[in-house]
Structure 1
């Protein structure tokens, strides 16, 4: 008799609403992004009508992570204040590490759903960010497709030979990305050896021009304003150095963001490496 009762209870649980799979959270329809790097992810995986606003940086040709710019211009922007977010009637806010704390606190007090993400330091970090954002906006399948596109670009950019070309990414003022950065991983995966560690630099550090001249890389990737050369390259000693090493332009928009930007970055790095190989033939 006891066995019959247990079986009956199990049967009731099987059809009970409480025992069914938890319902998926409602898909947000008024997403506001305050994260300029994740703007490019959002416009790739969200329905256009889900996006209420993106970061004002994404309308700036010098700072946008969205290519082509015309795609970014389709959406309204905010400068990152809580007042603007409220005015947009946001039901989800995507924030980055540089959003002002008073804005974050105001949104939390108002109970507006908030996703805070940092700066990805690896491809794996970026992949997790995409998956997390895609799940939050009800677009997991599109998130998987974007991650697959990034993986395909990395496979495509992988060099056929194993020799690593000594290289350095050099920004205005001598700032250099080192080990533990996304830029370092992308260099390695496209056939370059980041010389940052050879100079004894930290994750992000400044390399004086004297050290660069004493031990130059084979390739110097110059990060200047979009469409302009780094002003440090106009220094007489740098003009002389350019006769002995390859100096190539590297867009600043390729340096800090993950997501679709990884595709553009590895395509550019792969193009540079192929040009070096063709030149040596």
Structure 2
């Protein structure tokens, strides 16, 4: 009787001691990709978003993105990769959601972070899904350190994208501006959270610093093809601000703060 009981007990002990296989993960969101490649083992990553392999949209180095298989997020592509977990943003194709539910594949959706604090929580949550929470904690600490608030007097500034789109109060770029020692001029123009500022208003009442996404696209030596902005650059500082720094939170905050601090550092304290 003792042997009959001991054998199942020994088997249970051995089973509990066996290593647990890390989850196989597919991400179909480029901002999640940027976190995933930093906290997961490469072998865990079954697929990433095709946007991460697009030079105009990626938030990770192309050399890193090209190591992984990319999908456009369709149900067929994602299911074919046989993931244990699928990570995505707030907007996912209903067909993909239905297919994952039908096959009992875990789907975790993340909101777009609108603050440094939300970004840090998201990094920790994504890391927990990979089974490597300590890596997420380390990355979160780096983000918090990079986003440490400046003590410099705020300079009036504006981030201006193609078409005049401007991030306003309540957005992550707005918070990063403040942390780097700038005052976002969006509210002074009466703009909403994300709003369009016509060029004539910008020229009539320019900020001290214009962080131009267009300048980053054509090269800071040219600033922009628009003659009005070239003339404006004689009166204020127009600095290139890459579009990739606008797209995501997470580790992108580290690069965004480095660029903002670089521009702010060009002024006397």
Alignment TM class, shorter chain as reference: 0.7 to 0.9
Alpha-carbon distance, 1:132 to partner: 1.2
- Partners of 1:77 and 1:110 lie apart in 2 by 21
Give the ranges of 4+ consecutive aligned residues of structure 1 lying more than 4 Å apart after TM superposition: 229-232
Pick from 201, 209, 212 the counterpart of residue 191 of structure 2.
201
CA contact (8 A) 2:223 2:230 kept: no
The alignment partner of 1:220 has SS state of strand
* Alignment pair present for 1:271 and 2:262: yes
Alpha-carbon distance, 1:102 to partner: 2.1
Other-structure match for 1:3:
none
Deviations 1:77-125 (A, max 9, x none): 1110111111101110001123222222221222110110111100111
TM-score of the aligned structures, taking structure 2 as reference length: 0.87
* Alignment pair present for 1:93 and 2:86: yes
The alignment partner of 1:275 has SS state of coil
Other-structure match for 1:8:
none
CA contact (8 A) 1:27 1:137 kept: no
CA contact (8 A) 1:94 1:114 kept: yes
CA contact (8 A) 1:28 1:91 kept: no
Q: Please, what is the CA RMSD of the aligned residues?
A: 1.9
* Alignment pair present for 1:170 and 2:164: no
- Partners of 2:237 and 2:108 lie apart in 1 by 42
Other-structure match for 2:17:
none
CA contact (8 A) 1:182 1:256 kept: no
Other-structure match for 1:146:
139
Residues 271 and 232 of structure 1: CA distance in aligned 2, closer, same or farther (over 3 Å) = closer
- Partners of 1:236 and 1:65 lie apart in 2 by 30
Pick from 120, 124, 128 the counterpart of residue 117 of structure 2.
124
The alignment partner of 2:202 has SS state of helix
Pick from 210, 228, 250 the counterpart of residue 237 of structure 1.
228
Other-structure match for 2:3:
none
Other-structure match for 2:10:
none
Other-structure match for 2:204:
214
TM-score of the aligned structures, taking structure 1 as reference length: 0.84
CA contact (8 A) 2:215 2:224 kept: no
Other-structure match for 2:180:
190
Unmatched segments (≥5 aa) in structure 2: 1-19
- Partners of 2:21 and 2:101 lie apart in 1 by 19
Unmatched segments (≥5 aa) in structure 1: 1-25
Other-structure match for 2:36:
42
**Count of matched residue positions in the alignment of Structure 1 and Structure 2:** 249
- Partners of 2:42 and 2:172 lie apart in 1 by 29
The alignment partner of 1:255 has SS state of helix
